[in-house]
Chain A
Amino acid sequence: MPQGLSRRRRGLIGGLLLALPCVLAGPDPALDPERVARGELVLRAAGCAACHTDPEDPEAFLAGGRALETPFGTFHAPNITPDPEHGIGRWRVHDLDHALRHGRAPDGSAYFPVLPFTSYTRMSTEDLAALWAYLVTRPAVSRPNRPHDLPWWLRWRGLATLWQWLYFDAERFEPDPKRDARWNRGAYLVEALAHCAECHSPRTWLGAIDEGRRFAGTRSGPEGKPVPNITPDRETGIGRWSVSDLAYYLETGMDPDGDFAGGLMAEVIDSGIGHLPPEDLEAIAVYILSLPPIRHAVDSGSEDQRDEFD
């Protein structure tokens, strides 16, 4: 047997031996298709795509681009595709955990609460792992991020650290044993993933949710637009809606009067919660309609309006 061939064989065997652990291990269990599918539902429920996809360029899915105008400046949602340069290609699952459940960037600096980690902190570990599996199996889009357009005094991340020290504690979702499984599923979806309160509540002058009017709407939500009161107050909220009305609205965008959601809510439905299974939408509706009703009119000209800092 010629020497050369033997060497080649040896190389081949060596290569096979090296590859063996991978073959034995099979595909990465962290990325199995079932987990990826669950991750997509988490992403839809959490409304990631509504902010992290440019509405003018929906093909560049999750590649960032939507500008979110807030009273504190304009934030440009970054690229969260697995692109190593502009996206999260160099992240590990614990970086996603730090970002979503602890409000921290991979370098340890604090995020501003425009990323709703204040809600995502309640996300379960299983859902976080599933979301990770979904995100890293998306096609990478090499689209550069736009820097946020903030006043000079906000460009210092130390302020975000201070904000978190004042208003943020990492926590987990705790189901209420006195309520049934559907209510608890709704509570988890609303409070941990869908982060409804982040837009549907007035904020204090320091940008924290006004807890006394959580879910009671605001006159100046994202992009300076009014956001309706979604507590079940009959006059100023959605107290006249049934569970079926609300679930149907979240699926189709059509309210009980036959009118349609517009703006950011249409986006949230189209790219997010509209994809959830009917039982999840019903659970959200059950939870929302069980909230304490708060009288708070957000449309201008109403006499019920209380002063808002926003």
Chain B
Amino acid sequence: MRMRYIAILTAVSGMFAATGLPAQDEDFDGVIRYRQGVMKAQAGHMAALSQIVRGHVPDPEHRLAELHARALVGLLEDLDHWFPEGSDFGETRAEARIWERWDDFHQAYEEAEDRAEALVKAVKKGESKAIAKAFKGLADACKACHKDFRAEEED
């Protein structure tokens, strides 16, 4: 009896495994939303930093700049982990190119991480021109990666 029970259970779970996609899609939904949330958080820090760098917000001791720069380093760390292969379906603008050129994608992320760290260093030194330059460097890294690996809206 127990053997039959196991056989039925195996067959039924096999049927689900064969269709497999719903469960996987659901998993990716969470991952996609998570990484989108992280990206939005990054965008928020970048938007805030741009106001500081352009001199629209007083930050004489660079405390605010440091807060945002450190947050960006933290948010960028290992973010490519949240791009599992196949997560280009559903509500996402991630391009399939990410997985076709994974090494380039990974390198682009590492570049962004390095530039965020360079920004933290510049902020600690406290020289406004160097901070602006480091910020521009990080912004260029964001733009380059989006240009290559993110689809435009409503593709």
Contacts and interface: CB of A to CB of B under 8 A. Distances in A.
Contacts of A262: 146-147, 150-152
Which of B42, B140, B154: most chain A Cβ within 10 A? Answer: B154
A258 B50 contact: yes
- Chain A at the B interface: SS class: loop
Contacts of A253: 139, 143
Nearest to B41: A258
B142 interface: yes
B54 A258 contact: no
B51 to A, nearest CB: 9
B154 A267 contact: no
26 contacts: A219-B154, A225-B152, A225-B153, A225-B155, A226-B154, A244-B54, A248-B54, A252-B139, A254-B50, A254-B139, A257-B44, A257-B47, A258-B45, A259-B43, A260-B139, A260-B143, A260-B146, A261-B143, A262-B146, A262-B150, A262-B151, A263-B152, A266-B147, A270-B143, A299-B153, A300-B154
Contacts of B147: 260-263, 266-267, 270
Interface in B21-44: 42-44
A266 B111 CA distance: 19
B153 A258 contact: no
Interface string A14-53: 0000000000000000000000000000000000000000
Contacts of A260: 139, 142-143, 146-147
Interface residues of A, number: 22
A267 B146 CA distance: 11
Contacts of B154: 219, 225-226, 299-300
B130 interface: no
A252 B136 contact: yes
Interface of A: 219, 225-226, 244, 248, 252-254, 256-263, 266-267, 269-270, 299-300
B46 interface: yes
A248 B43 contact: no
Given A254-B47, A258-B45, 17 more contacts: A225-B155, A226-B152, A248-B54, A252-B50, A252-B140, A254-B142, A258-B43, A258-B44, A258-B48, A260-B142, A260-B146, A261-B147, A262-B151, A267-B147, A269-B143, A270-B143, A300-B154
B40 to A, nearest CB: 8
A237 B44 CA distance: 21
Contacts of B143: 252-254, 260-261, 266, 269-270
Q: Which 6 A-B pairs have the closest CB atoms?
A: A258-B47, A258-B43, A258-B46, A266-B147, A263-B152, A253-B143
B67 to A, nearest CB: 15
B42, B43, B150, B152 pick with most chain A CB within 10 angstroms: B152
A256 B46 CA distance: 9
A254 B153 contact: no
Interface string B89-133: 000000000000000000000000000000000000000000000
A158 to B, nearest CB: 35
Nearest to B48: A258
B118 to A, nearest CB: 17
A60 to B, nearest CB: 19
Contacts of A257: 43-44, 47
B47 to A, nearest CB: 3
A270 B50 CA distance: 19
Contacts of A269: 143
Nearest to B42: A258
Nearest to B46: A258
A256 B56 CA distance: 13
